[in-house]
Structure 1
């Protein structure tokens, strides 16, 4: 019952949370790339906190609806990090974990038959967010990453585990972002690989079931034909026996 209630809640808030995540991403990008002042800066900050409030409500509701709360708690530590990190000023750059967590939560339902689209979209989103985060950390530090292009290139080579070393974060927060990107990249690849394998196994199972059903139908049809032949042979024998007795 509890699991059903949690599933119903997650289905109900899936699209609202995705819309909130998009607003979050837009406000976060404006803050990092435009560096606005005055009213625009206040609106962007308000959007960030409002969307964070939505994630907080979602976390609390799911925690209350679940039956084994301690088990659910330590299995959803990333969701807890989404709620806690924005309150810690030095780690606010890790807010990009919000989008990554939502992507991974919906991976199973989104991925059926759309593996390539999901993989490309999720990877591009992760690279973009990590680029924003590391640029926010590295700007003004005197390091190598000083513009968004360099930040995106760094995120690309990091998530693919190539690591050329031409751009390296030098601030502690930038290195935290790098660690999060590495872990997130590995987790993303794991989710895609596991779901793709599950999808392939499911397709093979369906084909096997269809083949088995077809074979059973053919055997049943053949059994019916044999039964009809037996009846015709018996009737033919009886007819021949009658003619011989008459003669």
Structure 2
């Protein structure tokens, strides 16, 4: 049982790690001044952990069959093909390709993160940062060139984080109609994610208490048994049996 639990934690941890690496790959693709060599370490790291996840799966053949296209998308995302698109003046499609690839690659992991359980708490926290990055990037792409407040990707991420947390400083606001539509969606996602986080934390705390109670039950039962034996009243034999025992004893003496 403990081995199965450890394996489940390992699988969840690797899924979360692959999710984070995918976000890093997406972030680097948006970084216009990124060094040309930085994509290769991210790609190799993803491939390394992908194959570890594949090896520990109960049905490795089914896992590879279900996720081979995800691996191909990540390789494509980190390949020089997107730089070739820039050279042909169609780089405007690249962000859409990146975000679409990101959603396609991590659809199962995102759905697993929405499951309320103590094991999904770290993944749910990773999902919060992923949503910040997603909405911040989309809003930056929509507002760039028309809104001076969104001068770089960090402005979009700051706006998304402030909006998702419902703080709303108002220092950066979208002004284009598509940007405002995304802002409304960001607010709705912020409310949903807060509900998800609270539910996961509550479940996590309750699960810890339930595990402590389950672990203490055998000890309590043993304590009650020992206490009952120590304080149990002595059983007196019937009077006839005592008299018969005395007679037998006196006869042999």
TM-score, normalization by structure 2: 0.53
Q: Which stretch shows the higher mean deviation, 17-26 or 178-187? A: 17-26
Q: Does the 8 A contact of 1:24 with 1:47 survive in 2?
A: no
State the partner residue of 1:38: 87
What's the CA shift string for 1:110-162, capped at 9, x where partnerless? 852x74x4455333322222221111000111442222222222112111111
Superposed CA deviations along residues 32-78 of structure 1, whole A, max 9, x for unmatched, are: 543951369499579649838x94xxxxxxxxxxxxxxxxxxxxxxx
Aligned to 1:51: 101
Q: SS of 1:169's equivalent? A: coil
Deviation at 1:182, TM superposition (A): 1.5
Alpha-carbon contact 1:104-1:188 (below 8 Å) kept: no
Q: 2:169 aligns with which of 146, 164, 173?
A: 164
Alpha-carbon RMSD: 4.7
Question: What's 1:26 paired with?
Answer: 25
CA 1:29–1:170 in structure 2 vs 1: closer, same or farther (change >3 Å)? Answer: farther
After the TM superposition, which of the residue ranges 165-174 and 177-186 deviates more from structure 2? 177-186
Say if 1:49 and 1:188 are closer, same or farther in 2 by CA, change over 3 A.
closer
CA distance in 1, matches of 2:171, 2:127: 25
Equivalences for residues 56-67 of structure 1 within 5 A: none
Cα 1:49/1:137, change in 2 over 3 Å: closer
Q: TM-score, normalised by structure 1?
A: 0.55
Whether the 8 Å contact between 2:143 and 2:176 is mirrored in structure 1 is: yes
Query: 5+ unaligned residues in a row in structure 2: which ranges?
Result: 1-10, 33-81
For the Cα contact (< 8 Å) 1:131–1:151, is it kept in 2? yes
Distance in 2 between the 1:47 and 1:16 partners? 22
Task: Tell me if 1:127 matches 2:177.
Answer: no
**2:155 corresponding residue in structure 1:** 150
| Greater mean deviation of Cα atoms: 185-194 or 140-149 | 140-149
Partner of 1:179: 184
1:215 aligns with 2:214: no
Q: Secondary structure at the residue paired with 2:174?
A: coil
Question: Which structure 1 segments of 5+ residues have no match?
Answer: 1-11, 56-97
As a proportion of its length, which structure holds more helix? Answer: 1
Work out the CA distance in 2 between the residues paired with 1:243 and 1:16.
Answer: 79
